[in-house]
Chains A and B, each alone.
Chain A
Amino acid sequence: MAGVGTFIRLILRRDRVKLPVWLLVTVLSLVAMVPLLKETYGDSATLHTLYQTFALNPAGLFLTGPMDAPSFGALMTIETTLWWGLLIAFMNTLFVVRHTRQNEETGAQELLLSGRAHRASGLVAALVVAFGVDVLLALGIGAGLHMVGAPELWSVESAWLHGITLGLFGFVWAAIAALVVQLVESARSANGLLAGLIGTAFVVRGIGDFMGSTSANGLHEPTVVSWLSPFGWLQAARSLTAPEWWPLLVSLGFVAVAVPLAFWLLGARDVGAGLLPARIGRARAKQWLATPLGLTWKLQKNIFIGWCAGVVAMAVIVGMLVPEMSRVFESSESAKAMIMTMGGNGALIPTFLSAMLMITVLMVVAYTVQGITRLRAEESSGRAENLLATRLSRFKWLGLHAAVVLAGGAVMLALCGFVLGSLVAVTSDISVNVVEYTLAGLSYFPVLALFVGLYVLFFGLLPRAAGLVVWAYFGLVVFMSWIAPLLQLDQWMMNLSPLAHVASAPSEAIRLEPLLVLGALSLVSVATGTVAWRNRNLQS
């Protein structure tokens, strides 16, 4: 097809750093998990304890999937498969959107297609490169797991099946993205829609696992609901425990249908247009919109609503799992042992809820980061220039964005504490104080402020690096929250995460001192960053 070669070279040139880095990090971090987990949990006594705990733990089922056997392969599966799956899904969808819809939106596609190029060549090239990267990923993971684990921890077949399953999972999401970019006009909507689909697919699989049952051969069988989700297909291969090749056919079948469908849709629409028509809007701005605060809210609204829905859904799900869980805890000593390792000291349910609250808080932090990084997007696109040439001051422009993001974050924190507390109160016989839970949620507010502070600091001093720095720090904090308790890292490393300093309310009493320190740190950063912003050029 004319032009495909050129498009592929263009993509490889644009992403010459991003793709190799992403590939290396994904493969190496997954392979590195093997020795790390083995050192802490490798002996068979520990594996048996974990197995008994997880086999009965509905929250675990929901978040990580079932533990199939008291084997290291099963542990590796619950600790890594879905999380690396999420990483692969996001990488593939962001990549395909970037090289298809985003190109159309900026008009670059139009120019390229006016040359000697078939109109489908852009999509072909994006998919070829995405699939190529997924193949390399499959080979890397297969070879890596083969080298570090076979045949002691799992068979050679398992190692390669795992690699291939994860690679094919990438194919599936690239194909879904290829479909979605035909439907909507803007890259932002496409990315938003795809993130929503990934989240939904994750939750649907969780529900399938949660409602499933243990079969005669000791394996946990999810209900048919899991088959609606690509994450369900990913798990069904059970690559590292009881390998099955046939689930690959489901993924392959899906790709074989979705990709031609995407090309058919592409053929049925104009370049630059979506299949869902752009709606006509208002001829006049509403009163509230034509104020600095109203405009800022409008620009932040969609980010807020998306994340708020996610956070509330998460709180509802966790809340509904609690009655089930309290039954399990009463009957199982090992479950008690496990929950104690989550950092609790007393009552089990509050300790568990505190841990879940912290996970939900990480979602709120992600919202905060996404919201505040709009500052730079507004500046580099030139949209801020229009506003800053009016009587809106730089100080107010920045302050309003920070205030709206932080207020949104506070609402979400209060909501997730409130919803969690209320559901536990309604669905179980555990007595909870809803106000206490709401305050527990709000006690994480200084963490949000710290992230805003860090971003504003870099936005003032090194604007082009600001987004990267704050997302990298977020990655570190997530990593610390999820993996550090497993790996028993040194305290100084743990201390890099603000969450290490905040008391895990409501099981612990809220400690004011660390919150004030975090608040003060963020104030200093915001002040420094704002002064620097006031004194620098606008940069595209």
Chain B
Amino acid sequence: MTDNKEIISCQKLTKTFGSVKALDEFDMTVRAGEVHGFLGPNGAGKSTTIRVLLGLLKKTRGTATLFGKDPWKDAVELHKKLAYVPGDVNFWPNLTGGEIIDILGRLRGGLDEKRRTHLLECFELDPTKKFRTYSKGNRQKVALVAALSSDVPLYILDEPTSGLDPLMEQVFQTEIQKLKGAGKTVLLSSHILSEVEALCDRVTIIRDGKTVADYTLAELQKEHESLEALFLSKYEEK
């Protein structure tokens, strides 16, 4: 799956909340088989973009498509092809991690039992604990295991590793490499630059709701000495 089919496409995407412009003519294209890094300072509009792409928020102007379709109109149809890890992981406090993984898996059309077992083991997650008793990192793992045990073409991950320890970060990177090997598409919003450099084929940087940079990793390595240097220059420039 190395064709250039566009899986996600945002063109001049604008989203306003009252008088606040969260997205301002934002552009981004994610192609099939790509692991696409999505960077930007806090509050730049990453989660808003993702929520528009999931049909949870209604765009104000511009176009946003998933698999060539409108996520607002065809939400349920499109959701069959994706798995999502939200930035704020919040589930039902009285259900166990294992139960939540199964529920989300089934609602996504079934989960891969082998992968479920494998992921629980790698991430060292105890599925018998009630969600309210998990730490931040373990809550994140519940959402990750649920998403990664689904066999779908597209994974949308909103800062999925923000609570993980370095060892678990390694496990996460290995799993994403596997997905990449299997030709899956991943949209990865992240603040961890080393993770983005290790995993991504392409990055989009957003600031104040606008696209400020869009590079392949190869271009990036040519033009800038490191992602960090680019990142800081783009974040700071006025």
Contact = CB atoms under 8 A, between A and B. Distances in A.
Interface of A: 105, 185-186, 278-285, 289-292, 295, 298-299, 381-383, 385-394, 535-538
Contact of A386 (B55, B80, B91, B96): B91
A285 B99 contact: yes
Given A186-B94, A278-B133, A391-B107, 4 more contacts: A186-B132, A382-B90, A390-B107, A536-B58
Contacts of A283: 96, 98, 127-128
A393 B56 CA distance: 11
Nearest to B133: A278
Interface of B: 17, 51, 54-58, 75-76, 79-80, 82, 84, 86, 88, 90-96, 98-109, 127-130, 132-133, 143
Nearest to B54: A389
A298 B93 CA distance: 12
Contacts of A386: 84, 86, 90-91, 104, 143
Contact of A537 (B58, B84, B101): B58
| Closest 4 pairs between A and B when the two form their complex, measured CB to CB | A285-B102, A281-B96, A390-B107, A290-B106
A281 B130 contact: yes
Contacts of A279: 130
A282 B106 contact: no
Contacts of B56: 385, 388-389, 537-538
14 contacts: A278-B133, A281-B129, A283-B96, A283-B98, A285-B101, A285-B103, A290-B106, A292-B107, A295-B103, A386-B84, A388-B54, A535-B58, A537-B17, A537-B56
B75 A393 contact: yes
Contacts of B94: 186
Q: Is the interface of A mostly helix, strand, loop or mixed?
A: loop
B109 A185 contact: no
Contacts of A299: 92
A394 B72 CA distance: 11
Given A290-B106, A291-B106, A391-B108, A381 B90 contact: yes
B98 A285 contact: yes
A404 to B, nearest CB: 15
Nearest to A107: B136
Nearest to B94: A186
Contacts of A390: 79, 104, 107-108
Contacts of B98: 281-285
Contacts of B91: 383, 386
Contacts of A280: 96, 128-129
Contacts of A295: 103
A36 B130 CA distance: 52
Given A382-B86, A391-B80, A535-B58, A281 B99 contact: yes
Contacts of B109: 391
A376 B75 CA distance: 21
B102 A284 contact: yes
Nearest to A381: B90
A257 B58 CA distance: 56
A387 B109 CA distance: 12
Contacts of B106: 285, 290-291
A185 B108 contact: no
A388 B96 CA distance: 20
Contacts of B95: 281, 285, 298
Contacts of B128: 280-283
